[in-house]
Amino acid sequence: MRRNHAQKLAEEMRKTYDNVAGEFSASRTKFWDELAFLAEHTQRDDHVLDIGCGNGRFFPLVREKHAQYVGIDYSEGLIREAKRLHPNGNFIVGDATQLPFPDNTFDIAYSFAVIHHVPSKEPRAQFVCEAARVLRHGSIFVLSVWRLWTPSNFGKLFWEGTKNRAATAIPSLLSYDNKLGMAVKNALDMGDLMLTFGKKKAPRYLHAFTKGELVKLLTKNGFSILSVDSIAHGNKEKNIVVVARKS
């Protein structure tokens, strides 16, 4: 995906989350039960970073560990929700690809269902590099993504990749996505798709990671892998979870 397309798409995603912040927060009143065990990686007095914290629903699990928590999200609307729901938490607006913290600040970082919303390979690599930069040597990074390579999404994923290759061969094949309100120029790569959220059918970009792709991304950008799991959500596998250590 071209850099200018990725930047425009990222900005549209930020606007989406600002616009649906209340509805999104109401749909996520507590942290996922199936992932709650991951808080066990946090030790007392750890400095914890929650990248893409949303409405702060992971904060109570960290507070139980008597650790020092910072949550960051690029959506001002979601940060307002986080502060409203958790007035004792430390929440700031910021970009995960340019974290506003010094090197070696945190003992552990978490990022749940965030990086698959980052358009294009280069910004996703920067996302991981920034997590590595702000973590102390040997610290843990827990990263999860949705498991999107499922039968219900195969058609969408194949179509977006095919359409993009066609547009490269025939530049006149353009598209205009009314939900985004901008010319997309068939910008999505293979493995990308657009889904919607809520009553307003707000558009959301997602990249469908495979386990191998996620492992490669982490190992190329400062981490060694400790574990990779598919965590069930109800009766279906929905989350790929990687626990990695800063090399």
pLDDT digits (tens, 9 = 90+) for 25-41: 999 988 989 999 999 99
pTM: 0.88
pLDDT digits (tens, 9 = 90+) for 144-179: 999 887 766 666 666 555 555 444 433 333 343 444
**What does the pLDDT average to over 81-97?**
97
Residue 101: DSSP 8-state = S
Model pLDDT, residue 178: 46
Residues 89 and 172 in one domain: no
Q: What is the mean pLDDT of the chain?
A: 87
CATH number at residue 88: 3.40.50.150
pLDDT digits (tens, 9 = 90+) for 2-14: 788 888 889 988 9
Q: How far apart are CA 67 and CA 62, in angstroms?
A: 6
Question: 74: Cβ–Cβ under 8 A, 6 or more apart, which residues?
Answer: 14, 17, 52, 93, 94, 95, 96
- In this structure, are residues 31 and 57 in contact, taking their beta carbons and an 8 Å threshold? yes
Residues 87 and 125 in one domain: yes
Q: How many CB atoms lie within 10 A of CB 125?
A: 16
Q: How far apart are CA 136 and CA 246, in angstroms?
A: 7
Token digits of residue 245: 């250590």
Q: Is residue 197 part of a domain?
A: no
Domain count for the chain, please give it.
2
Residue 74: DSSP 8-state = S
Angle 223-138-31 from CA coordinates, rounded to 5°: 75
Q: Is residue 218 part of a domain?
A: yes
Angle 233-127-27 from CA coordinates, rounded to 5°: 35
Distances (CA, A) of 38 to 43, 195, 202, 243: 12, 27, 30, 9
Residues 157 and 140 in one domain: no
pLDDT digits (tens, 9 = 90+) for 191-239: 888 888 888 888 889 999 999 999 999 999 999 999 999 998 766 668 9
Residues 124 and 32 in one domain: yes
Model pLDDT, residue 35: 93
Residues 121 and 16 in one domain: yes
Q: Is residue 173 part of a domain?
A: yes
User: What domain range includes position 110?
Assistant: 3-150+202-246
